[in-house]
């Protein structure tokens, strides 16, 4: 084998009603949303980065591809497999600190591609646990809600204590997602620091009830109940303060017919759920008008990525 190429989609963590518990993989027909990674044998062991947001990536030793490679190689050595000298070509389509799972995309793409290169020594659960560990080292805790959908696709419910750390939920095929990245950066650390230290019993119970009811509505394919339940009265009021124009954008989009509106991951990317692509494009324009800050701000229409990470080609 000369090379392996994989694609990993963007993801929406903290999916409105599921803080640290729900994550969705998304892709768009209008622009690439995710990471494209090629792995090949090379004694130089380099990382070549390209793409719209490649200039935002850290130095090679700190790059998550090398961090992921070190974790993967440790697992290889535990199986008495000698790691090879490899290089990488990464095309980065996601801005760092965007709330679109940029770090998770790099981590999952790396681990998945390496697993393919070495003829799949690890199963999907083992890859997921490695990815969550690397992601946890990057953000200060072990988090599954971006790496799970990035790896498996769809909408994933996280159950870190269970035999299977994530469970794929039924989804609504007609839902479209209007996505807007304002071109400001919010780190996961800063987004966590703004959260309240204590949540009232009433607020906690309400959010638990909404999450449970949303899961039930998903299995019952009760669309009307599902989108009504997508409300966050605990996390969103805090994190929305970090996003200029959030309140105005949310009100404009809901008035224009959006089913729901929320923050993707830690932000600043926001998303609205609609029932068709035409309405999503209209709402995209409203979002970009209210939220856009920098020259790299963008908006696009996305749908759930049911495939997740996959092999594009191998030679």
Please state whether the peptide bond connecting residue 268 to the residue before it is cis, i.e. omega within 30 degrees of 0: yes
Beta-carbon count within 10 A of 111 CB = 28
| pLDDT tens, per residue, the chain with 315 residues | 799 999 999 999 999 999 989 999 999 999 999 999 999 999 988 899 888 888 877 767 678 999 999 999 999 999 999 999 999 999 999 998 899 999 999 999 999 999 999 999 999 999 999 999 999 885 556 789 999 999 999 999 999 888 889 999 999 999 999 999 999 988 777 788 888 888 899 989 999 999 999 999 999 999 999 999 999 999 999 999 999 999 999 999 999 999 999 999 999 999 999 999 999 999 999 999 999 998 999 999 999 999 999 999 766
Between vectors from CA 250 to CA 168 and to CA 219, what angle results, nearest 5°?
Answer: 20
Which CATH number is 176-304 given? 3.30.70.890
- Residue 259 is predicted with a pLDDT of 96
pTM over 0.75: yes
Q: CB–CB of 307/37 below 8 Å?
A: no
For the chain, the domains span: 3-169, 176-304
Distance (Å, whole) CA 189 – CA 211: 24
- Residue 62 is predicted with a pLDDT of 77
Alpha carbon separation from 241 to 19, 44, 144, 235 (Å, rounded) = 17, 45, 25, 11
**How is 23-83 classified by DSSP, letter by letter?**
EEEEEESSS--EEEEEEEE-TT--EEEESTTGGGS--TTTSHHHHHHHHHHHHHHHTT-PP
Which CATH number is 3-169 given? 3.30.230.10
Q: CB–CB of 73/83 below 8 Å?
A: yes
Beta-strand pair 155-158/47-50? unpaired
Tally of CA atoms within 13 A in the half-sphere of 22 that contains its CB = 22
Q: CB–CB of 26/142 below 8 Å?
A: no
């Amino acid at each position: 084998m000369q090379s392996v190429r994989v694609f990993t989609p963007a993801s929406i963590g903290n999916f409105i009603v599921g803080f640290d518990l729900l994550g969705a993989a998304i892709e768009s027909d209008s622009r690439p949303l995710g990471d494209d990674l090629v792995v090949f044998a090379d004694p130089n062991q380099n990382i070549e980065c390209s793409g719209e947001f490649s200039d935002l990536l850290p130095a090679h030793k700190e790059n998550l591809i090398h961090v992921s490679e070190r974790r993967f190689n440790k697992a290889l050595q535990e199986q008495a497999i000698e790691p090879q000298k490899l290089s990488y070509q990464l095309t980065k389509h996601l801005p760092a600190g965007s709330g679109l799972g940029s770090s998770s995309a790099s981590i999952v793409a790396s681990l998945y591609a390496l697993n393919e290169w070495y003829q799949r020594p690890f199963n999907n659960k083992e890859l997921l646990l490695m990815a969550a560990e690397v992601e946890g080292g990057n953000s200060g805790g072990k988090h599954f809600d971006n790496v799970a959908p990035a790896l498996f696709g769809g909408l994933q419910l996280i159950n870190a204590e269970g035999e299977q750390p994530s469970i794929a939920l039924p989804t609504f095929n007609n839902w479209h997602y209007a996505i807007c990245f304002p071109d400001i950066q919010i780190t996961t650390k800063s987004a966590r620091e703004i959260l309240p230290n204590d949540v009232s019993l009433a607020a906690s119970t309400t959010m638990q009830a909404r999450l449970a009811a949303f899961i039930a509505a998903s299995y019952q394919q009760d669309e009307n109940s599902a989108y009504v339940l997508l409300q966050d009265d605990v996390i969103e009021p805090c994190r929305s303060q970090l996003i200029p124009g959030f309140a105005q954008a949310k009100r404009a989009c809901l008035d224009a017919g959006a089913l729901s509106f929320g923050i993707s991951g830690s932000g600043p990317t926001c998303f609205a759920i609609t029932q068709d692509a035409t309405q999503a494009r209209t709402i995209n324009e409203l979002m970009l008008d209210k939220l856009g800050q920098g020259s790299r701000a963008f908006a696009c229409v996305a749908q759930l990525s049911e495939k997740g990470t996959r092999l594009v080609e191998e030679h």
